[in-house]
Amino acid sequence: MKTDSIFYRLFLEMPGIYFQLIGESPTMAKSYKFQSVEIKQTAFRLDGILVPNKQSPTTAS
């Protein structure tokens, strides 16, 4: 899986930094495991697509 290598390495090597950024104790990182996870995509949506009208001259029979 392709990862954003800068953030991946940062959080992998210094997991407590995330908790510092959100104002929590860096020791909270001991309760978590950082890993790269792939999520299976179940749907694919386009933001927009032009579909011909049923009455369009190019599609009329």
Q: Write the DSSP assignment of the chain as a string of letters.
A: ----HHHHHHHHH-THHHHHHTTS-GGGGGG---------------S------TT-TTT--
Q: Please tell me the predicted confidence (pLDDT) of residue 1.
A: 47
The per-residue pLDDT for range 13-30, each reduced to its tens digit, is 888 888 899 899 999 888
Q: What is the pTM of this model?
A: 0.50
| Domain-wise residue ranges, the chain | 1-32
Residue ranges of the chain whose pLDDT lies below 50: 1, 59
| Distance in angstroms (rounded) separating the CA atoms of residues 33 and 11 | 10
